[in-house]
């Protein structure tokens, strides 16, 4: 992070889905993607990772319950949920991106395996920053 340098690696695109079963069926049976992982988010949402075995391209399906802070009523064309970038240091990267003009959507927090944060692009698209969990004390979980 010296001199404003940020090391980031684009790793996947996340989309919001209205019906997880229907979307899984489409992306696996119709599009031929393979499930690489799935889980429940701290706030109740569900994610499923998919990959194309030919190219390695990754897609994450995100389903949010209606009573969730991440839920927004759907409009055509607004299904892009976020773009994900792997970074070495989430907190330092957020600081640098804010310095460059990116607004924070969700401050850095830790889940069971990693540190996460979200900033927004000029059109409001969320950009996830994901990195290794640090061992700092008094880390708050806010998701």
Q: State residue 21's pLDDT score.
A: 95
Ordered per-residue pLDDT tens for the chain, 143 residues: 446 668 899 999 999 888 899 999 989 998 899 999 999 988 889 999 999 998 899 999 999 888 877 677 777 767 788 999 999 999 999 999 998 889 999 999 987 789 999 999 877 888 999 998 866 544 444 44
* pLDDT in the model for residue 142: 41
HSE-CB for 71 with a 13 A CA cutoff = 13
> What is the CATH number that goes with domain 2-132?
3.10.180.10
Question: What is the chain written as a DSSP string?
Answer: -GGG---EEEEEEEEE-S-HHHHHHIIIIIS--EEEEEEE-TTS-EEEEEE-TTT--EEEEEE--TTSTT-----TT--EEEEEEEES-HHHHHHHHHHTTPPEEEEEEE-SSEEEEEEE-TT--EEEEEEEPP--TTPPP--
pTM higher than 0.75 for the full model? no
Residue 31: its pLDDT value, please? Answer: 87
Q: What residue segments make up the domains of the chain, in order of their start?
A: 2-132
């Amino acid at each position: 992070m010296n001199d404003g340098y940020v090391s980031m690696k684009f790793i996947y695109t996340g989309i919001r889905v209205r019906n997880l079963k229907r979307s899984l069926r489409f992306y696996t049976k119709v599009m031929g993607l393979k499930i690489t992982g799935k889980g429940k988010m701290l706030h109740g949402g569900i994610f499923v990772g998919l990959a194309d075995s030919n190219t390695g391209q990754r897609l994450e399906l995100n389903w949010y319950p209606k009573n969730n802070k991440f839920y927004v009523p759907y409009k055509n064309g607004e299904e892009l949920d976020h773009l994900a970038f792997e970074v070495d240091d989430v907190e330092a990267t957020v600081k640098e991106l804010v310095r460059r003009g990116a607004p924070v959507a969700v401050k850095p927090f830790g889940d069971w395996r990693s540190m996460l944060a979200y900033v927004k692009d000029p059109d409001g698209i969320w950009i996830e920053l994901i990195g290794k969990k640090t061992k700092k004390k008094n880390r708050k979980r806010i998701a």
